[in-house]
Amino acid sequence: MPNTSLNSEKLRILEELRIQAKLTPAGASRYFGLRDRESVRNWELGHKAPPPKHREHMKSYLHSKLGLSHDHVLFLQIWKDIMVGEWGWPSLTVDEMSILFRNVWSSVLKDVPQMAPNRPPHRLIGRSGLIRQLKQRLFNGGHSAFTALNGLPGVGKTAIAVELAHDLEVLSHFPHGVLWAGVGRDATEAGVLRHLHTWAQDVGMSPETIRRLRYVDDLKREVHKLIGNRSFLIVIDDVWNIDGISPLMIAGPNCAYLMTTRLPRIAEQFAGQGAISIPKLEPAYGRTLLSELAPLAVEEEPEAASDLVEVVGGLPLALILLGNHLRQVSAQQRRLRTMIKRLKQAEHRLRLALPSELLGSYPSLSDSAISLWASIEISDQALMDESRDALRSLSVFLSNPNSFTEQAALAVTAKPAQALDQLVDSGLLEIAARNRYSVHQVIHDYAKANLVDTMAYSRMVDFFTGFIDTHADDHTALAQEHENLLGSLDTAFRLG
């Protein structure tokens, strides 16, 4: 009985390639060491799926016997559609692909569009599980074809997208290439259209046709037609306005979108359940990253290194900036200790800068040097005045992992709830639990450095003084606000 769950249309290509290779079903079966002369024929017809034990022979069968050693696109498409999609076999690993195409892989990558920025000089640390999760989403297709990464400035959204865009397993799944657009906060219609023009050329549209198609909708439609059933990974980096990227929505059924944004609501609008918040690095991974960038410094001053990982809250951009500056002075103990002393000052950490080519793509930043201050300032500038003032006032609370209630936040900021809502929507204020918020360490440092309304300290003291009076017998409530109560008492002491 045929296996009705197998797609005979997809399987037909195996028969066609075997016939082209002048190989009989019996000869093909013998290649696999099968006694039944019709075994391979049964696979081709969808009567049964071969067990995974034939995986190694199948690789060489496609590669050598069926002549696909110089047609990587077809080889990878067949493996994706049939071996993985129909038979349920595992995808090819990076090592397997490197061995199969070792003689042609470098030319393969030159023959397809690869518009992603280059990988930065430092290794991506602590993201292997997330990379696996994202690959699974991208490879699944359907609703999973829309994925959006959101998170704090400097948490590594673009770095993860770049890693995926250069990953051999990803490239094998999207063998026609990567289309990349770095959009940015100040994206204009003309700028987005330039990305679409570039994509049009990369998918094979002639310059004459591009010039003839004057209207965006016409060009978008023709690019979509040219993509057809080809498999591209389409990356739209640093999105601030969902409507502004409409011209770039040109994917075919075998493509997948990956978007990055600082704004959680934009991620949810674009990808729904595919919106993934990128977390800060765990302390162990943060220390590993710092150690790889400045090994002598971490070896010489291990406790100070751990303190730095903690004080920047595991933010990758912060650690990369710290590591590069520590490395420059690590050969001299005196200079190293002087640098560590300076790095204990929040504003000094915020102002550290490196050339953009060492850090990767930042479409919203026009400066050639990138700093934490500049990265956060872009989000800060996009806020309404009330929200901006509220962010600064919230710096009177302790930073993450401490949290505070919405009632406390409203009292301390003296701003309406809508100001807090915009901070949440911008990704600068984190929801720690129901009706509780927290501020990441680096965002806290930036907000405190810009605080002008020092009356926020008095408002905090007043709020928690009243809180103690109201909840004198509620030990659970007092315990939950323990850090905030200590902070307000310390502030009251300093204010006199």
Q: Write phi, then psi, for 122 (nearest 5 degrees).
A: -95, 150
Q: In what order do the strands lie in the sheet with 430-433?
A: 404-405, 436-438, 430-433
Q: How far apart are CA 3 and CA 357, in angstroms?
A: 54
Token readout for 204 is 């094979």
Alpha helix ranges (H) inside 395-440: 406-413, 417-426
CA distances, 51 to each of 1, 31, 117 (Å): 17, 15, 40
CB-CB contact of 372 with 154 (8 Å): yes
Q: E-assigned strands of 337-454?
A: 353-355, 369-371, 404-405, 430-433, 436-438
pLDDT of amino acid 264: 95
Q: How far apart are the first and last CA of the chain?
A: 88
Q: How far apart are CA 409 and CA 393, in angstroms?
A: 9
| Tens-binned pLDDT, residue by residue, of the chain (496 aa) | 345 567 778 899 999 999 999 999 999 999 999 988 888 999 999 998 999 999 999 999 999 999 888 787 788 889 888 998 889 898 887 678 777 776 555 554 555 666 788 888 888 999 999 999 999 899 887 666 899 999 999 999 999 999 999 887 888 788 888 999 999 887 788 888 899 999 999 999 999 999 998 888 999 999 999 999 999 999 999 999 998 899 999 999 999 999 999 999 999 999 999 999 999 999 999 999 999 999 999 999 999 999 999 999 999 999 999 999 999 999 999 999 999 999 999 999 999 998 877 776 677 776 668 899 999 999 999 999 999 999 999 999 999 999 999 999 999 999 999 999 999 999 999 999 888 999 999 999 999 999 999 999 999 999 999 999 999 889 999 999 999 999 999 999 888 7
What is the SS3 assignment for 430? strand
Count other Cβ atoms within 10 Å, centred on residue 289.
Answer: 23
What is the SS3 assignment for 435? coil
CB-CB contact of 12 with 44 (8 Å): yes
pLDDT of amino acid 111: 57
Q: What is the DSSP string of 237-295?
A: ES-S-TGGGGGG----TT-EEEEEES-HHHHHHHHGGGEEEPPPPPHHHHHHHHHHH-H
Q: In what order do the strands lie in the sheet with 275-277?
A: 178-182, 233-237, 256-261, 146-150, 275-277
Which residue from 251, 277, 223, 255 is spatially nearest to 141, judged by alpha carbons? 255
pLDDT of amino acid 321: 95
Residue type, 137: R
Q: How far apart are CA 387 and CA 393, in angstroms?
A: 10
Q: How far apart are CA 496 and CA 487, in angstroms?
A: 14
Q: What is the pTM of this model?
A: 0.79
Stated as kind and residue range, the H or E segment containing 73 is: helix 72-78
Residue type, 472: A
Count other Cβ atoms within 10 Å, centred on residue 327.
Answer: 18
pLDDT of amino acid 43: 93
Q: What is the CA radius of gyration of the chain?
A: 28
pLDDT of amino acid 2: 41
pLDDT of amino acid 101: 73
Which residue from 403, 412, 390, 388 is spatially nearest to 491, judged by alpha carbons? 412
Q: Which residues, including other chains, have CB under 8 Å from residue 146's CB and lie 6 or more apart?
A: 256, 257, 259, 270, 271, 272, 274
Token readout for 226 is 């040219």
Q: Is 371 exposed, middle or buried (0-12, 13-18, 19+ CB in 10 A)?
A: buried
